[in-house]
A and B are shown apart, each in its own frame.
Chain A
């Protein structure tokens, strides 16, 4: 894993002058195509609706209406949405990553009959479209009165994510078994090994897993759409999706201000953890 980004593998070598110009032109063209929408979102979020409608091509705002951001909070339960999403995401991520690590450790470290078979089942559940189990799950949670609460969104997630189990198991297989033996000699059991050795050593892998899970939970719309009815329970995704319902004409400046605030937490997290994140995607994408 650690030698992925160093220079010992194939690299195309020095580019010719023409090649260099071509490469940079390509990169800059793509970069502007990728960055433009995000910049557009930000600048729209501080314009007035008048300016947006009368001069659709102005890139920079003539006046900076930071009050748009305030208005989102004043006229909408935006703070509630933000709070709901935040605690729900954090609880789910911590639970999912911890239990996935435990399960992954089980698959990576112990010899047991049926182990290979069970792991094949874990992998095959990644292929199963969520929609197949969605309806019976809904009926189940409906019959035990969990609908319109966060329980259906958190409990199944916390029971382990196939993708994260796979990702973390790959990492654990790379850890030397001698570490376990050292603990065993000192009289520690498997739980000591897991908590004192494996968890601290796998912090980078766990960070990757946490970010992947975070992005998924933060952006998920279908789950909340199915299970939540009361507006005071809405997460950001659902609150945003219903944002325009109260207006005759779309208030684009408010919509963009809300959107900026919705993408800011994932972007910030990605900025600080991108090294782990990219590595994690790489491991899961190229192994197995």
Chain B
């Protein structure tokens, strides 16, 4: 499975005088026209508008009035902004490492030569496709403090009173993380695919040298799959910072604002309070955060990620 880069054909010098090349160019624009229109109307235009709105006070009814940097100034003295940033960061800081480690672990298990491989792959993957409202309700039920199975089990078997999970400020973020862990299937599949492309020779050589399974994992597997780890870390960071559905369905941002995630706050500002200007400023800060974190992940990993094998 060699990496496909940009089409080689495009690197050849084009002869724009030839009828064929001009015809090709015409068809190129024709085929991509839906994207071109969609991009202009639904992405580029709104981005410019959003940037403009972030400098205005705008409540749908009435005109947008220009307020300069006021929205950003207000944002930086808004305690809810800091709270939402804190809980989102805390969630991401727990969810990203745990799901990456679990996904690698599962991928290693599924990569072993065992019976029923296809069966296990299917069942580990399946939970990640049924995300959304119904799964949020399921977890709300399982972790229900009074009748939920987890707390009932803790009480009946160990005589312990379990935590309130989603209703306790200290356990609400870990509860969201726990729920997210059952959805590691798609990350796991990507790791599994990369494990299956590792060169056999290195492992055979290492085995002959007497390297233990742990050493082979630590010194061969991890470096070789490091680009995929980085890819998955970046994807997970982006997804974690945009968590919304679960919080909307289960906690409404509570208890004590401890699940008042960033996008939840943004949504309330825009569509409950009609403060479109302020919400636009929030959106651009989110964009900036995601951009900086992605850049940071790439920067921090530049010494530890090995691309040699690809070349």
Q: Flag whether A262 is at the interface (Cβ < 8 A).
A: yes
Of A24, A116, A156, A271, the contact of B10 (CB 8 Å cutoff): A116
Q: Flag whether B205 is at the interface (Cβ < 8 A).
A: no
Within 8 A of A (CB), among B263-307: 263, 266-267, 270-271, 276, 279-280, 282-284, 286-287, 290-291, 294
> Does A160 contact B46, Cβ atoms closer than 8 Å?
no
> Does A9 contact B294, Cβ atoms closer than 8 Å?
no
Within 8 A of A (CB), among B123-143: 123-127, 129-135, 137-139, 141-142
Nearest residue (CB) in A for B197 is A9
Within 8 A of B (CB), among A144-201: 156, 158-160, 165, 170, 173-174, 190, 194
Stretch at the interface among B74-82, B109-117, B166-174: B109-117
Q: Flag whether A69 is at the interface (Cβ < 8 A).
A: no
> Does B47 contact A132, Cβ atoms closer than 8 Å?
yes
CB contacts (< 8 Å) of A35 on chain B: these are: 123
Q: How far is the CA of A118 from the CA of B28 in the complex (A)?
A: 11
Q: Flag whether B190 is at the interface (Cβ < 8 A).
A: yes
Q: How far is the CA of A219 from the CA of B14 in the complex (A)?
A: 45
Nearest residue (CB) in B for A236 is B133
Stretch at the interface among A60-68, A71-79, A86-94, A123-131: A123-131
The smallest C-beta distance from B180 to any residue of chain A, in angstroms, reads: 13
CB contacts (< 8 Å) of B148 on chain A: these are: 56
- Most chain-A Cβ atoms within 10 A of its Cβ — which of B53, B141, B279? B141
CB contacts (< 8 Å) of A136 on chain B: these are: 45-47, 49-50, 53, 280
Q: How far is the CA of A30 from the CA of B60 in the complex (A)?
A: 50
Q: How far is the CA of A23 from the CA of B42 in the complex (A)?
A: 49
Q: Flag whether A70 is at the interface (Cβ < 8 A).
A: no
> Does A286 contact B190, Cβ atoms closer than 8 Å?
yes
CB contacts (< 8 Å) of A274 on chain B: these are: 122, 125
CB contacts (< 8 Å) of A122 on chain B: these are: 35
Q: Flag whether A106 is at the interface (Cβ < 8 A).
A: yes
> Does A135 contact B123, Cβ atoms closer than 8 Å?
no
Chain B: interface size category: 35 or more
Within 8 A of A (CB), among B48-71: 49-50, 53, 60
Q: Chain A at the B interface: mostly helix, strand, loop or mixed?
A: helix
CB contacts (< 8 Å) of A165 on chain B: these are: 35
CB contacts (< 8 Å) of B47 on chain A: these are: 128, 132-133, 136
The smallest C-beta distance from A52 to any residue of chain B, in angstroms, reads: 6
Q: How far is the CA of A195 from the CA of B228 in the complex (A)?
A: 35
Q: How far is the CA of A264 from the CA of B4 in the complex (A)?
A: 36
> Does A110 contact B53, Cβ atoms closer than 8 Å?
no
Which residues in B have some Cβ–Cβ distance to A below 8 Å? 1, 3-7, 9-10, 12, 14, 16, 21, 24-25, 27-32, 34-35, 37-39, 41-43, 45-47, 49-50, 53, 60, 105-106, 109-114, 120-127, 129-135, 137-139, 141-142, 144, 146-149, 152-153, 156, 182, 186, 189-190, 192-200, 203, 213, 228, 231, 238, 241-242, 244-245, 248-249, 263, 266-267, 270-271, 276, 279-280, 282-284, 286-287, 290-291, 294
A sample of 17 more A-B contacts (CB under 8 A), given A27-B120, A138-B271, is A12-B112, A31-B123, A33-B182, A34-B124, A38-B138, A53-B147, A56-B146, A56-B147, A110-B27, A127-B291, A129-B238, A129-B241, A129-B290, A135-B50, A135-B276, A215-B131, A258-B134
Show 28 A/B contacts (Cβ-Cβ < 8 Å), sorted by A.
Answer: A4-B197, A9-B200, A10-B200, A12-B112, A15-B112, A15-B114, A26-B105, A37-B182, A99-B34, A106-B31, A108-B7, A109-B31, A125-B43, A127-B238, A129-B242, A131-B282, A132-B47, A133-B46, A136-B47, A137-B42, A174-B4, A225-B267, A237-B245, A256-B141, A258-B134, A266-B129, A281-B190, A286-B190
